[in-house]
């Protein structure tokens, strides 16, 4: 799979032309700036803003739900108009725009595990004490097979203080809000450290409805043992004829807004 990240200078949009596979796009603004994703289905004659529009925090977007092949049929069997151009615009401060190719497993003989996101550009969290999206992906309806599994790795560098810096990972049906939806798979606390590596997982239980997170959903924990059970998500509607869009979100919250917290990288693996 292909992941491409671009620096988006102020006043000069980055333009991306998707191929016939589904893509998830993520826009991340610089501190004090905004980013906007918009898309065209007519080779750039007209553009439509992504549902979350211009934003001071990161967000993701999958145009049209599923991108259609040039022959007019989606690899997933759903006919949604292809977005011929997707672009990202920064205002005030340069941002980052990342395109993650989501070629589905099981199509054209592809099986096993695939790296579907490989973000290494770096993102510095905003000066805020609110929980904020740091990186996210969206997956079109029907994208996931029955027994899929996602493994999510995130890498952070932070100020070495005793003040709380909390990292969370969410997954589930999308919502057009700042955190984009989903249920928390777990959280981890960075205090008196310079960095952290987080590993979360979520898997379909074969019925297109129920999901299980293979990680412990308490602050300060990830993989290991705990008195808190692994996280289950019911009625996720992740596949089948009534499937809805799913979202993966990695968020950060700082007790002291001005302290440094940088998302150095994210890798997401999909297997079936």
89-95 mean pLDDT? 96
Where is average pLDDT lowest: 149-153, 179-183, 193-197, 240-244?
240-244
Which of 70, 74, 83, 78 shows the shortest CA–CA distance to 41?
Answer: 83
Place of tokens 């203080």: 161
245-256 mean pLDDT? 94
Phi, psi of 193 (to 5 degrees): -140, 165
pLDDT at 258: 92
Q: How confident is the model at residue 80 (pLDDT cuts 50, 70, 90)?
A: very low
Return the number of other C-beta atoms located less than 10 Å from residue 46's C-beta: 10
CB burial of 30-41 (b: ≥16 within 10 Å; e: otherwise) equals: beebbbbbbbbb
Q: How many whole angstroms separate alpha carbon 166 and alpha carbon 88?
A: 28
pLDDT at 78: 42
Which of 84, 92, 104, 10 shows the shortest CA–CA distance to 44?
Answer: 84
pLDDT at 239: 87
183-200 mean pLDDT? 88
Identify the H or E element spanning 188: strand 181-189
pLDDT at 74: 39
pTM confidence score: 0.89
122-146 mean pLDDT? 92
pLDDT at 54: 95
Q: Which residue has the higher pLDDT, 29 or 65?
A: 29
């Amino acid at each position: 799979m292909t992941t491409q990240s671009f620096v988006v200078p102020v006043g000069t949009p980055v333009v991306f032309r998707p191929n016939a596979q589904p893509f998830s796009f993520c826009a991340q603004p610089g501190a004090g700036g905004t980013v906007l994703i918009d898309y065209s289905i007519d080779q750039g004659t007209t553009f439509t803003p992504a549902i979350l529009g211009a934003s001071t925090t990161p967000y993701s977007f999958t145009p049209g739900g599923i991108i259609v092949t040039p022959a007019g049929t989606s690899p997933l069997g759903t006919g949604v108009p292809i977005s011929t151009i997707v672009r990202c615009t920064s205002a005030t401060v340069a941002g980052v725009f990342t395109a993650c190719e989501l070629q589905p497993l099981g199509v054209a003989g592809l099986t096993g595990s695939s790296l579907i996101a490989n973000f290494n550009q770096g993102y510095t969290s905003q000066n805020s004490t609110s929980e904020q999206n740091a990186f996210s992906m969206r997956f079109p309806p029907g994208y996931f097979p029955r027994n899929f599994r996602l493994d999510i790795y995130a890498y952070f560098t932070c100020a070495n203080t005793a003040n709380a810096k909390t990292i969370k990972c969410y997954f589930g049906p999308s919502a057009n809000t700042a955190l984009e939806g989903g249920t928390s798979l777990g959280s981890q606390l960075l205090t008196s450290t310079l960095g952290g590596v987080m590993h979360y997982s979520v898997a379909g239980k074969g019925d297109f409805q129920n999901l299980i997170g293979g990680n412990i959903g308490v602050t300060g924990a990830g993989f290991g043992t705990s008195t808190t059970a692994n996280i289950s998500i019911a009625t996720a509607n992740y596949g089948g004829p009534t499937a809805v869009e799913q979202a993966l979100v990695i968020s950060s919250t700082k007790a002291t807004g001005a302290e440094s917290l940088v998302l150095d990288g994210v890798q997401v693996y999909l297997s079936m």
